[in-house]
Amino acid sequence: MNTSGTHAKESGSPTGIASAAKDYGPKGPAQKPDMKSRFNFIRRHFEAVTNILVLILSVILIVWISLDTFNHRNILENHGYMIFQFWVCLFFMLDFFIGFRKAQSKSHFFWTRIWFLLLSIPYLNIINALHLQLPYDVVNFVRFVPLARGGLAIFIVMRYLNSNAIQSLFMTYILIMAFSGYFCSLVFYQAEYRINEQVTSYWSALWWSAMNMTTVGCNIEPVTAIGKIVAVILPLIGMVILPLFTVYITNMVTSAVNQSRQNQ
Cα end-to-end distance, the chain, whole Å: 81
What pLDDT, on the 0 to 100 scale, is given for residue 208? 92
What pLDDT does residue 207 have? 92
pLDDT the model gives residue 36:
65
Amino acid at 130: L
Of residues 14 and 188, the one with the higher pLDDT is 188
* Number of DSSP helices (H) and strands (E) in the chain, helices first: 12, 0
pTM (two decimals): 0.67
pLDDT digits (tens, 9 = 90+) for 106-120: 888 889 888 888 888
Of the CA atoms within 13 Å of residue 250, those in its CB half-sphere come to 6
Provide the mean pLDDT of the chain.
Answer: 76
243 or 234, higher pLDDT: 234
In a 13 Å sphere around the CA of 69, the CA atoms on its Cβ side amount to 29
Q: What is the pLDDT of residue 168?
A: 66
Window from 17-31, 41-55, 112-126 with minimum mean pLDDT = 17-31
Q: How many residues does the chain have?
A: 264
Taking alpha carbons only, the member of 96, 45, 85, 44 closest to residue 62 is 85
Helix (H) or strand (E) holding 117: helix 114-120
Q: At what angle do helices 165-192 and 31-70 cross, to 10 degrees?
A: 30
Q: How far apart are CA 240 and CA 93, in angstroms?
A: 29
Average of per-residue pLDDT across 113-130: 85
Residues 6+ apart with CB under 8 A from 95: 50, 54, 153
Give CA–CA dist 102/93, Å, rounded: 14
User: Which range is least confidently modeled, 8-17, 194-203, 211-220?
Assistant: 8-17
Q: How far is CA 208 from CA 168, 187, 204, 260, in A?
A: 28, 12, 6, 42
Q: pLDDT class for 191, splitting at 50, 70, 90?
A: confident
Comparison of pLDDT for 168 and 241, the residue scoring more: 241
Residue of 69, 64, 67 lying closest to 190 (CA atoms) = 69
Asked if pLDDT for residue 98 goes beyond 60, the answer is: yes
pLDDT at position 226? 85
Q: Does residue 162 have a pLDDT over 70?
A: no
Q: Are 120 and 92 in contact (CB under 8 A)?
A: yes
CA-to-CA separations, 104 to 100, 101, 108, 115, in angstroms, rounded: 9, 8, 9, 19
Confidence band (pLDDT; 50, 70, 90) for 244? confident
